[in-house]
Amino acid sequence: MAIRRYKTIKQRDDYSCFACCACMVTGETLKKFIKFIGHDGSEPDPNESHPSKCKGFTDREVVSYLVDRGYALGTSPEWSIGIRFNGDPNETIKIEVPVTEPALLLVESEVLNGYFHVVFWDGQFVRDPNPKRPAKSKLAEYKIREWSQVIIL
């Protein structure tokens, strides 16, 4: 099997990190993503909690795009929440995550305090859509909250 070569796509605003990461998975441009979704995310939304107050892109839109292109996201536990069985606080469990496979990661934002950011793990490097970050970064540089493995359908 040939090794897939991924390209880092940088976001043009502060609300399209998830969309950019989906495009890194598919190898398509953000322009193709926007055409598929039908909007560019910039529509004002005064009820939005994000500081941009823009509609942005919903999880459903991004996942629909990925599924349409033959990909799905696996689930993982939310790492910030402790897991207990039978109410025993001393019981520990081992969670194994295949770090050699591509995944979308929800990490703590370095730009917007108290918010999260999506980056793409290509199996070797983190590809961060933040334009202030290098094209490739080390996994240890991020505070990971969720790990969603990319699955080819």
Taking the C-alpha atoms of residue 44 and residue 59, their distance in angstroms, rounded to an integer, is: 18
Q: Is residue 146 part of a domain?
A: yes
CA geometry: angle 133, 44, 49, nearest 5 deg: 65
Residue with tokens 């606080």: 89
Q: Is residue 3 part of a domain?
A: no
Q: Is residue 102 part of a domain?
A: yes
Q: Which of 32, 35, 11, 34 is nearest to 21 (CA)?
A: 11
pLDDT of 77-136, one tens digit each?
Answer: 554 445 555 666 666 656 566 688 899 999 999 888 889 999 999 999 999 999 999 999
DSSP conformation class of 12: S
Please compute the mean of the pLDDT values over residues 6-35 and round it to a whole number. Answer: 96
Q: Strand, coil or helix: what is 2?
A: coil
Which range of residues forms the domain containing residue 137? 17-152
pLDDT of 41-82, one tens digit each?
Answer: 999 888 888 888 888 999 999 999 999 999 999 876 554 445
pLDDT for the residue numbered 4 = 73
pLDDT for the residue numbered 50 = 80
pLDDT for the residue numbered 80 = 44
Taking the C-alpha atoms of residue 59 and residue 55, their distance in angstroms, rounded to an integer, is: 12
**Is pLDDT of 1 > 90?**
no
Q: Is residue 59 part of a domain?
A: yes
Q: Is residue 106 part of a domain?
A: yes
Domain count, the chain: 1
Taking the C-alpha atoms of residue 8 and residue 130, their distance in angstroms, rounded to an integer, is: 10
Q: Which of 31, 151, 47, 53 is nearest to 103 (CA)?
A: 151
CATH code, domain with 136? 3.90.70
Q: Is residue 6 part of a domain?
A: no
Q: Strand, coil or helix: what is 36?
A: helix
Q: Is residue 10 part of a domain?
A: no
pLDDT for the residue numbered 3 = 56
Q: Is residue 8 part of a domain?
A: no
Taking the C-alpha atoms of residue 10 and residue 23, their distance in angstroms, rounded to an integer, is: 10
CA distances from 16 to 35, 68, 117 (A): 14, 19, 9
